[in-house]
Amino acid sequence: MELVCPAGNLPSLKAAVDNGADAVYIGFKDETNARHFAGLNFNNKQIEQGLDYARTRGTKVYVAINTYPQPDTFAKWETAVDQAAEYGVDALIVADIGVMDYASEKWPELRLHLSVQGSATSHEAVRFYAEQFGVQRAVAPRVLSVRQVASLVDHSPIPIEVFGFGSLCVMVEGRCYLSSYVTGKGPNTFGACSPASFVRWSETDSKLETRLNGVLIDSVNKDENVGYPTICKGRFRVNGKTSYAIEEPTSLNTLPILPDLLRIGVAAIKIEGRQRSPAYVANVTRVLRAAIDSCLSDPDNFLPDHAWLSELTSLSEGVQTTLGAYQREWQ
């Protein structure tokens, strides 16, 4: 079971490699990837340095080109594919059918992974990408229960990667327009959810408010913490009650079900968080590495270590974690 870790910059890449990542995934400095944030991602020189650092230590490097080009911008995604291919990266993580069509035609030897943004939730959908474009691995959206992941792994023609830890998209990835509805910019087209330029934090006498392009996402007392205004983690009114109507600020954590994921044959575990700091990447990678190694050596008696769990919880959104859709009760 491969451990795939995020790197938003060179120090994070080194942190992931040094702490036991089997593979790191990175993106270019533009909207061709789904973590298109200011100050993040890799220019050409940094990619060369990162590849060199990872390769000499036996770690693979994947490049995410996992957003959706439009008629006028397709050439930019072609350039991204060409650059990654010319660097000889270990795989591209892709979502768009047109981009896959281009990559598989121009670079037939280049390994392709289907991004979670490709939104393939069944073995039939995965089969489409495997048969049409020779995709060799698919990342499953965070909408399946453990049993459904097991069935997907059983019937899929290619290995399946799942999310193991990090911020939790509660909507099926690749088909969520909440951010673009409010701001005009969303994951598919712009590579970011709730872009910072639309976020406003404001104080009244007693409250701290967060708004996204003017829409009130949450309002808390000044002594409380308020999260980043992602729409799905806001507090709203439904049927006269105010609550986290969609999801609470929380992070996905699969340590408690690691033996199940191993047993059902998941090929790789991915950590979310290219937007996070090198220290975060180092700590999460180290904990997941230790947990996977412990699980691999004795899956029947695996129990997540207390120190691991408290470390991951302290690094989580809202300082709490969930199994998300893996657990049916969450749904």
Partner 1 sequence: MSAASTSTRVGLSLGPVQYHWSKEKMLAFYRTIESSPVDIVYLGETVCSKRRSFRHQDWIEVAERLQAAGKEVVLSTLALLEADSELGYVRKLCNNGKFTIEANDMSAVNMLAGKTNFIGGASLNIYNPRTLNKLVGLGMIRWVMPVELSKSVLAGFQKEMPAGIESEVLGWGRLPLAYSARCYTARAHEVSKDDCANCCVEYPDGLMLSTREEESFLVINGIQTQSARVHSLVYELNDPATGPDIIRISPQSENTERVISLFDQVRGGKLGATETSHELKQYAPVGLCDGYWHGAAGMAACGGAGGP
Q: Is 318 in the site for partner 1 (CB under 8 A)?
A: no
Query: Token pair for residue 192?
Result: 């970011």
Select the residue interacting with partner 1 from 19, 66, 167, 213 (CB under 8 A).
213
* Farthest-apart Cα atoms in the chain, separation: 61
Q: Which residues contact 229 (CB under 8 A, 6 or more apart)?
A: 194, 199, 210, 211, 212, 217, 218
Q: Which is nearer to partner 1, 74 or 87 (CB)?
A: 74
Select the residue interacting with partner 1 from 143, 199, 267, 290 (CB under 8 A).
143
Which span sits near partner 1 by CB under 8 A: 9-17, 29-37, 54-62, 236-244? 236-244
Which span sits near partner 1 by CB under 8 A: 14-22, 42-50, 228-236, 281-289? 228-236
Which span sits near partner 1 by CB under 8 A: 17-25, 35-43, 44-52, 175-183? 175-183
Select the residue interacting with partner 1 from 174, 195, 229, 304 (CB under 8 A).
174
Q: Is 68 in the site for partner 1 (CB under 8 A)?
A: yes
Count Cβ atoms below 10 Å from residue 60 Cβ, excluding itself: 17
Q: What is the 3-state secondary structure (H, E, C) of 186-253?
A: CHHHHCCCCCHHHEEEEECCCEEEEEECCEEEEEEECCCCCCCCCHHHCCEEECCEEECCCCCCCEEE
Which span sits near partner 1 by CB under 8 A: 84-92, 168-176, 221-229, 284-292? 168-176
Select the residue interacting with partner 1 from 201, 206, 245, 319 (CB under 8 A).
245
Q: Is 125 in the site for partner 1 (CB under 8 A)?
A: yes
Q: Is 122 in the site for partner 1 (CB under 8 A)?
A: yes
Q: Are 268 and 2 in contact (CB under 8 A)?
A: yes
Q: Between the CA of residue 331 and those of 7, 119, 152, what are the distances in Å? A: 30, 18, 18
Select the residue interacting with partner 1 from 13, 120, 252, 295 (CB under 8 A).
120
Select the residue interacting with partner 1 from 64, 170, 258, 288 (CB under 8 A).
170
Select the residue interacting with partner 1 from 9, 12, 19, 183 (CB under 8 A).
183
CB of 182 to partner 1, least distance (A): 6
Q: Between the CA of residue 172 and those of 95, 111, 131, 169, 258, what are the distances in Å? A: 13, 25, 23, 7, 22
Select the residue interacting with partner 1 from 57, 106, 200, 328 (CB under 8 A).
328
CA within 13 Å, CB half, 165: 29
Q: Is 195 in the site for partner 1 (CB under 8 A)?
A: no
Q: Between the CA of residue 231 and those of 189, 194, 214, 225, 322, what are the distances in Å? A: 17, 8, 12, 16, 18
Q: Is 203 in the site for partner 1 (CB under 8 A)?
A: no
Select the residue interacting with partner 1 from 22, 96, 272, 317 (CB under 8 A).
96
- Burial classification of residue 159, based on how many CB atoms lie within 10 Å of its CB (0-12 exposed, 13-18 middle, 19 or more buried): middle
Q: Is 329 in the site for partner 1 (CB under 8 A)?
A: yes
Q: Are 21 and 290 in contact (CB under 8 A)?
A: no
Which among 232, 234, 235, 209 has a CA at the least distance from the CA of 222? 209
Q: Is 272 in the site for partner 1 (CB under 8 A)?
A: no
Which span sits near partner 1 by CB under 8 A: 9-17, 40-48, 237-245, 310-318? 237-245
Select the residue interacting with partner 1 from 45, 238, 301, 306 (CB under 8 A).
238
